[in-house]
Amino acid sequence: MDRKLPEIYEQIKKLEDEYSSIICFCERGGMRSTSLVGLLSSLGSRVYKLKGGYKQYRAYINENLPKLVEEVKFVVIHGNTGVGKTKILLEIDKLDGAMLDLEGCANHRGSFFGNVGLGETKTQKQFESNVYEALKARKGDVLFVEAESKRIGKVLLPEYLHKKMVDGVHINVHSSMDKRVENIIEDYDCDVSEILESLEKLRAYRPKEEVEHHIELVKSGDYRTVARELMENYYDPMYGKKAKPYELDYENVDEAETAKFLVEWLEKQEVDEMQD
């Protein structure tokens, strides 16, 4: 560790510019973190040791995340790729509505191209920690959440969380194809090489000629045609129709307006429920 101390110290000083205090930990909160915290404290850094180390922290998350999930109810927003579900969630948050952004917690959009432009997907442990922190800071006990399968990128939804979503209120959002294409173009404004890399992986699921066609379109800059054809021929047929009827079906033309409508709709549902 001695050779790394100057580098560690510089990293700590940078973190202190962003945070009021820094917590250091090792696996069990033993001598490694104790020694480092003692040294950094003597140099004037605002650092603390995590009691019990990372193992105790994980035990805390494993024990308390299910309890937080049990305290809430979900309004699950369904909709085909590109309708703007994540954007609607973020607009709901701006209105001080309660929401849980699982894809944000995972750093993945939940689709085949879900990590394009975002970098690495979070680890399972980091994902669960992010969900815990999001629920701990929630703005209410009835939260909007985007419909997800049991897997988002490389992370899995804990069974108790997925079941809670299945048992929630389900609504559907739809948009015109033109609107969906524009949303996709905006979301995937990134290095073309990442899109091409994802298209190469699509060879295992789509005909060779189709993938080659899309690669050529991307190289020529015709992203809209690629987005439209992938949604029409790949995503929409794959998702199909949900058998269970929705409590609400709403067309999203503008995410801010849709978010406002959904927040007001939920408030009315809660008032009516209290009056019944």
What confidence tens digit (pLDDT) does each residue in 101-145 have?
999 999 998 777 777 777 788 999 999 999 999 999 999 999 999
Structure confidence by residue, pLDDT tens digits, 198-225: 888 888 888 899 999 999 999 999 999 9
CA atoms within 13 A on the CB side of 174: 8
- Pairwise CA distance, residues 181 & 147, whole Å: 20
Is residue 42's pLDDT more than 80? no
Most confident of 16-20, 87-91, 203-207: 87-91
Q: Which pLDDT score, from 0 to 100, does residue 178 have?
A: 96
- Pairwise CA distance, residues 266 & 141, whole Å: 12
Q: What is the mean pLDDT of the chain?
A: 88
Contact criterion met (CB below 8 Å) for 78 and 244: no
Is residue 29's pLDDT more than 60? no
Is residue 155's pLDDT more than 50? yes
Whole-prediction pTM value?
Answer: 0.86
Residues marked as catalytic: 26
Ranking 75-79, 167-171, 191-195 by mean pLDDT, the lowest is: 191-195
Structure confidence by residue, pLDDT tens digits, 49-86: 788 888 889 999 999 999 999 999 999 999 999 999 99
**Which residue(s) pair with 128 in the sheet?**
none
User: What are the chain's domains?
Assistant: 2-51 (3.40.250.10), 65-275 (3.40.50)
Is residue 243's pLDDT more than 60? no
Q: Which pLDDT score, from 0 to 100, does residue 159 have?
A: 97
Q: Binning pLDDT at 50, 70 and 90, where does residue 260 land?
A: very high
Tokens representing residue 99 in the block: 């929401």
- Pairwise CA distance, residues 13 & 15, whole Å: 5
Q: Which pLDDT score, from 0 to 100, does residue 275 have?
A: 44
Burial class (CB in 10 A: 0-12, 13-18, 19+), 159: exposed
User: What integer is the mean pLDDT of 242-250?
Assistant: 81
